[in-house]
Chain A
Amino acid sequence: MLDAFSRAVVSADASTSTLSSDKIAELKGFITEGNKRLDAVNAVASNASCCVSDAITGMICENQGLIQAGGNCYPNRRMAACLRDGEIILRYVTYALLAGDASVLEDRCLNGLKETYTALGVPATSTVRAVQIMKAVCVAHITNTNTEERAGAKYRKNDTPQGDCSALAAECAGYFDRVISALS
């Protein structure tokens, strides 16, 4: 597993050189933006349960066949496995966001996931839809743009110092996109 710093080191090592000043400047940026990153990770981790249950529910409400006989969320056992998988995916995305690098997500979660789902008959399009909903939820929590009318009774406000978190939201969305492209 790598993080933003060791990723830079690995690429410097490939050319047996010390880190260039551009790279150092970039990493210094990572450090100065560090507090925002921790807030972003906190925003995702603190709303994990709501994010996962909303995504799986949303996926099912848009495709009711999933909970009819023969659907892949049909008995409780399958529904529980689905919720668990949603949580695992979100957890690895959170790790990647904390480390600032996708390797933990790729190595420990996405590697072989598509083949596993194909073998088990888990539908890829539905899984992708659930991941898309989680992506929207996480981006809203990181940028603090979640609204009461969308979240309803589950609405939770994040009180953080005001600033621009769009880069972190984009990074997090990028990790979800990796999940989507690995599945489809």
Chain B
Amino acid sequence: MKSVLTTTVASADLAGRFPSASDLESVQGSLQRAAARMEAAEKLASNYDAVAQEAVNAIYSKFPSGSGRAIDAGTQKEKCKRDIVHYLRLINYCLVVGGTGPIDEWGISGAREVYKALGIDTSTYVTGLTFLRNRGCADRDLSAQALLEYNGYLDYLINSMS
């Protein structure tokens, strides 16, 4: 799974060499940023439900009837929130790992095909995620560096859908 540690080890292994000074330096870089990542991960873990609800509200204020198959509005809204919660959990994992591995493997891979088959417009998710992207406020919600890490993964996800 992609992270600074695994990327470093994989490239050393490809060349068949022991970890060298530059490998250790790049790991050191990831450790330096880790405090901010962990702060964001903890914050997100403690209130992801409220965060997801805000995203769902933003989606349904822009697309009042949602998108996808014709199922009753309550179920549709519920499943929409479940999906946002799923993405937030994966962002929590990415913040812990310090790489996009979890979201690549468990979120993005195959998403396009699934949404196409189920007739769900990705712009609904983009709307919700963009709302979250612009919702965070440094110092009020979390420190500036932690917010940057959090927003970075939201941007990554938004880019994958648009």
Contact = CB atoms under 8 A, between A and B. Distances in A.
Interface of A: 1-6, 8-10, 12-13, 16-19, 21, 24, 27-28, 31, 34-35, 38, 41-42, 44-45, 48, 91, 94-95, 98-100, 104, 108
B3 interface: yes
Nearest to A95: B9
Contacts of A5: 3, 5, 96-98
Contact of B5 (A3, A17, A91): A3
Given A1-B6, A27-B38, A99-B9, A41 B19 contact: yes
B127 interface: no
Contacts of B28: 34-35, 38
Contact of A98 (B16, B27, B98): B27
Contact of B23 (A16, A31, A98): A98
A13 B97 CA distance: 13
A39 to B, nearest CB: 9
A18 B5 contact: no
A94 B18 contact: yes
Contacts, number: 105
B19 A94 contact: yes
A3 B7 CA distance: 10
A1 B93 contact: no
Contacts of A6: 1, 3, 6, 97, 101-102
Given A6-B102, A18-B92, A94-B18, A99 B41 contact: no
B22 interface: no
A13 B93 contact: yes
B161 interface: no
Contacts of A98: 5, 8-9, 19, 23-24, 27
A31 B31 contact: yes
A48 B97 contact: no
Contacts of A9: 1, 93, 96-97, 102
B48 to A, nearest CB: 7
Contact of B96 (A24, A91, A99): A24
Nearest to A28: B38
A48 B12 CA distance: 15
Nearest to B31: A34
Given A5-B3, A9-B102, A24-B41, 14 more contacts: A3-B5, A10-B1, A12-B93, A18-B89, A19-B45, A19-B93, A24-B45, A24-B96, A27-B96, A31-B31, A34-B27, A41-B19, A91-B13, A99-B6
Contacts of A41: 19, 24
A85 B58 CA distance: 59
B32 to A, nearest CB: 9
Given A24-B96, A41-B19, A108-B13, A16 B89 contact: yes
